[in-house]
Amino acid sequence: MTVESIESAQDNARVEDGQTDLVRELHGLKEEHRDLDSAIEALERNVVADQLQIQRLKKRKLTLRDRIAYVEDQLTPDIIA
């Protein structure tokens, strides 16, 4: 085995570890996004809904959606056409 092939294998392992971390982060973000959706729905059903709290949750939900899109983009390989 050459030094180059060992370094290449190590680089591949680091990439896979990085992707594993991204996948783990993605799952956590999606779970938090779903939880926020449920919390917003529950607050909106309340007759005396706290509109400020609802707006904060919606803003956090949008921020999560942006982060989810970013992480998904990182996991998708670039295809040069």
> How many domains would you assign to the chain?
1
* Host domain of residue 66: 22-75
Q: Is residue 81 part of a domain?
A: no
Q: Please choose, from the candidates 62, 69, 74, the residue with its C-alpha nearest in 3D space to the C-alpha of residue 21.
A: 74
- Tens of pLDDT, residue by residue over 2-61, are 655 555 554 455 557 778 999 999 999 999 999 999 999 999 998 788 899 999 999 999
- Which residues neighbour 75 within 8 Å (Cβ) at sequence distance 6 or greater? 19, 22, 23, 26
Max CA pair span of the chain: 70
Domain annotation covers residue 57: yes
Residue 66 lies in a domain: yes
Q: Is residue 56 part of a domain?
A: yes
pLDDT of residue 5: 55
Is the sign of the CA dihedral 49, 53, 59, 63 positive or negative? Answer: negative
In this prediction, residue 77 carries a pLDDT of 79
CA distance 43 to 14: 43
pTM above 0.85, yes or no: no
The answer to whether residue 43 is domain-embedded is: yes
Q: Kindly state whether residue 11 falls inside one of the protein's structural domains.
A: no
User: What was the pLDDT predicted at 79?
Assistant: 78
* 55 is a domain residue: yes
